[in-house]
Structure 1
C-alpha cells in the first residue's frame, strides 16, 4: 500500500516536472507567449494529489523554480520591469487555479476537465491582470486603465486557454491511461 502511494506520488511529480520543461517553449518561440502548461499543472495537482497540501506545494515549487531559470537566464532585461507584487499575483492566481482543480475535478472526466480549464483560465486571467493594473506601472489606475489592461491581455487569454486544453489532454490523458493499466497508481 505505502509503495503504491509513493509510486503514485512519484509519477505525479514526474509528469509535472516534464510539463514544466515546456515553459521554455516561449524562449525559443516568442509567438507562443502564454502558451504554457502552467494552468494545467495547477489543475493536475489539484485533481490528483491525495494530500491537498502537495497539490499546492509541488506545482508552485515547479513554477517558482522554472521562473528562477526563465527570469534570471533568459529574461534578464524584461523581468526587472515587474515588481515583487506582480510575481506574488502570479502565484496567488496559480494557487487559485489549484483550488479550482481541487473543487471541480473530484471526478476527472472530459466535461469536468473542460469546465475546470475554462474556469481556471478565467480565474488566472482576471486575478493576474487585476494585479498588473493595480501595480500602476503599465496602466493608469482608472476604470479606463482597468479596461485597457484586460483588453490588451486578450491575446494572452487565447494562448493560455489553448495551451491549457492541449496540455490537459496530454497530462490528464497520460495519467488516466497509466491508472487504467496499473493498479498501483489507482486510489483504493
Structure 2
C-alpha cells in the first residue's frame, strides 16, 4: 500500500492559482496590447502562495510556474515582438516574484485584512525596485548610474499603480475565495502536517 494521501488543500490552492492566472491571460488578450500592462495577478499569486503553502517548494514553485506558463503563452502570441527585449527584464521579474513569496511567508503568518494590505504594499515596492533593474540595466534610454535608475523608477510609477490595483483586486479574489472555502469545508484548514 502507498503512503501517498490525497491532499485537497494543495489541490484547491493550486486550482485557485491557475484560475486567477488564467484571468491574467484573459485580461491581456481582451484589451489593447499594453493597456493593462502590469494589471496582473502575479503579485497576489505570490502572496497567496507564500501565505498558504507551508512547504517551501510548493510556496515558491507554484507562483513561479504560473508566471512562467502565462509568460510563455503571452510571449509566443501577442507579445512576440517584445520577447527579445523582455528576456533580460524577465529574470529580474522572476527574482521579484520569489521575493514576493518570501514577503507573503513572513508577513502573512496570520491572514487578515491589515496584514494583506501591508504585504500588498511591500510586494508592490519589491516589484517596483527589483523588476525595474531589468528595465534600467544596459538600456540606452537611461544613464547607468543611480540617477538613471531613479529616472527609470519614476517612469514606472503608472505601471506600478496598475500593479497595485491588480494585486489588490486579485488578492481579494484569491484570499477571499480560499477563506470562504475554508469556512465551508474544514478539511481545507491547515493540519499539523505541512501542505
Report the TM-score, using the length of structure 1 for normalisation: 0.93
Q: Distance in 2 between matches of 1:69 and 1:140?
A: 33
Contact 1:139/1:145 (<8 A) preserved: yes
Residue in structure 2 matching 1:45, options 35, 49, 52: 49
Residue pairs, 1:106-121, within 5 angstroms: 106-121=109-124
What's 2:181 paired with? Answer: 178
Q: 2:126: which partner in 1? A: 123
SS of 1:107 mapped into structure 2: coil
C-alpha displacement of 1:178 = 0.5
Distance 2:188 2:131 in 1: 34
**2:100 counterpart of 1:97:** yes
Given that 2:142 and 2:152 are in contact with CA atoms closer than 8 Å, whether structure 1 keeps it comes out as yes
Aligned-partner Cα distance in 2 for 1:67–1:82: 10
Residue from 38, 59, 62 that aligns with 1:55: 59
SS in 2 for 1:82: helix
CA distance in structure 1 between the aligned counterparts of 2:178 and 2:140, rounded to whole angstroms: 41
1:137, distance to aligned residue in structure 2 (A):
4.5
Q: Distance in 2 between matches of 1:19 and 1:139?
A: 35
Q: Partner residue of 1:27?
A: 29
Counterpart residue number, 2:79? 75
Kindly provide the CA deviation profile for residues 96-140 of structure 1, in whole angstroms up to 9, marking residues without a partner as x.
000000000010000000001000111111111123212334422
**TM superposition shift of 1:29:** 1.6
Runs of 4 or more, structure 1, over 4 Å off, are: none
Length-normalised TM-score, structure 2: 0.90
The SS at the match of 1:50 is coil
Q: Which stretch shifts more, 72-81 or 150-159?
A: 72-81
Q: Is the 8 A contact 2:21 2:41 kept in 1?
A: yes
CA RMSD of aligned residues (A): 1.4
Structure 2 unaligned runs (5+)? Answer: none
Tell me how far 1:34 sits from its aligned partner.
0.8
Larger helix proportion, structure 1 or 2? 1
